[in-house]
């Protein structure tokens, strides 16, 4: 089978993402839409074919050591400490984060992972699930990344800059690496600091959990949901590919965040940025 064919990547029998008239397609869209409204999250279980996952796993392994690793303390906004706020405020609440990010510029020209990300069929399918027009993230570093969690790594509570995130687990850790999230803890108008503080102080009542499997594609509203992955354990590295889309065209992330996550910035980060809302990163 040709590798540039959608059927190489996707189990089209179960997920006919290219065929809008198909009744299965309509059913999947309906289910995903409902879950996204109520829960902010939906998982297309085993949507990726075994062979494709295996090849993408190999690809991820070959570039995984080019990840920018950081172990430091970050708040959920990935912003600097700000003495303007009282001590007991979410903006001043710093947590351990250790992981690596392979940035978008590290993928080979002929990358399979890149090919799947830039598939118009996939983008249109996701767009329909979300009920909005979406664009590939214009940020060359943050658009397509691999979140690398070596055993012992953990990714603390955070928001994403983009409204929606699509993740694909290409290699799971032996244990741990469980995705946890609190849907809609903030919204476009309100940071909901009180609710955020409650969570940071240990209140687990709003936390939901998902154990992803290799080949699952997850769609979630990362801009409004605080989320994290529990510590990866065992001997295998957890490699999670992150496909990023935005509601506006030409959105670029902040240079502070770029420096923090990918260890560098490009000229585009210094230019006047298009932003999608007025929330604090």
The residues binding ligand AKG (CB under 6 A) are 147, 155, 160, 167, 179, 227, 229, 240, 242
User: How many residues can be counted in the chain?
Assistant: 281
| One residue of 16, 40, 222, 253 binding Fe ion per CB under 5 A | 222
Q: Which of residues 159-178 bind Fe ion (CB under 5 A)?
A: 160
Whose CB is nearest to Fe ion? 160
Is the separation of the CB atoms in 187 and 45 below 8 Å?
no
Q: Which is nearer to ligand AKG, 123 or 228 (CB)?
A: 228
Q: Which is nearer to ligand AKG, 112 or 240 (CB)?
A: 240
**Residue carrying the six token digits 């991820």:** 60
Closest CA relative to residue 10, chosen from 58, 42, 47: 47
Q: Which is nearer to ligand AKG, 119 or 167 (CB)?
A: 167
Counting Cβ atoms within 10 Å, is residue 162 exposed (0-12), middle (13-18) or buried (19+)? buried
Q: Which is nearer to Fe ion, 10 or 228 (CB)?
A: 228
Partner whose binding site includes residue 47, from Fe ion, ligand AKG, none (CB under 5 to 8 Å by kind): none
Is the separation of the CB atoms in 85 and 92 below 8 Å?
yes
Q: How far apart are CA 208 and CA 129, in angstroms?
A: 21
Q: Which is nearer to Fe ion, 215 or 222 (CB)?
A: 222
Partner whose binding site includes residue 8, from Fe ion, ligand AKG, none (CB under 5 to 8 Å by kind): none
Whose CB is nearest to ligand AKG? 229
CB of 216 to ligand AKG, least distance (A): 11
CB of 16 to ligand AKG, least distance (A): 27
The residues that bridge with 242 in the sheet, in sequence order, are: 145, 167
**Residue carrying the six token digits 């769609």:** 219
Residue 182 Cα distances to 55, 149, 166, 175, 203, angstroms:
33, 21, 16, 22, 11
Binding residues for Fe ion, rule: CB under 5 A, are 160, 222
């Amino acid at each position: 089978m040709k590798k540039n064919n959608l059927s190489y990547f996707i189990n089209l029998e179960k997920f006919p993402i290219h065929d809008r008239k198909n009744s299965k397609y309509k059913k999947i869209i309906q289910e995903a839409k409902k879950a996204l409204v109520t829960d902010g999250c939906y998982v297309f279980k085993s949507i990726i074919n075994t062979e494709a996952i295996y090849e993408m796993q190999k690809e991820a392994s070959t570039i995984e050591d080019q990840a920018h690793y950081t172990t430091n303390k970050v708040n959920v906004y990935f912003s600097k400490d700000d003495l303007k706020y009282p001590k007991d405020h979410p903006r001043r609440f710093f947590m351990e984060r250790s992981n690596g990010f392979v940035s978008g510029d590290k993928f080979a020209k002929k990358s399979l992972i890149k090919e799947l990300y830039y598939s118009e069929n996939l983008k249109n399918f996701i767009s329909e699930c979300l009920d909005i027009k979406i664009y590939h993230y214009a940020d060359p570093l943050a658009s397509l990344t691999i979140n690398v969690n070596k055993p012992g790594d953990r990714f603390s509570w955070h928001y994403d800059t983009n409204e929606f995130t699509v993740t694909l687990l290409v290699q799971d850790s032996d244990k741990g690496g469980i995705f946890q999230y609190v849907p809609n803890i903030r919204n476009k108008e309100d940071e909901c600091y009180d609710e955020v503080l409650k969570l940071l102080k240990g209140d687990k009542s709003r936390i939901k959990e998902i154990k992803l499997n290799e080949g699952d594609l997850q769609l979630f509203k990362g801009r409004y949901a605080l989320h994290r992955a529990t510590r990866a354990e065992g001997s295998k590295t957890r490699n999670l590919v992150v496909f990023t889309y935005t509601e506006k065209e030409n959105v670029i992330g902040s240079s502070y965040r770029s420096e923090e996550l990918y260890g560098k910035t490009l000229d585009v980060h210094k230019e006047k940025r298009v932003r999608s809302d007025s929330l604090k990163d």
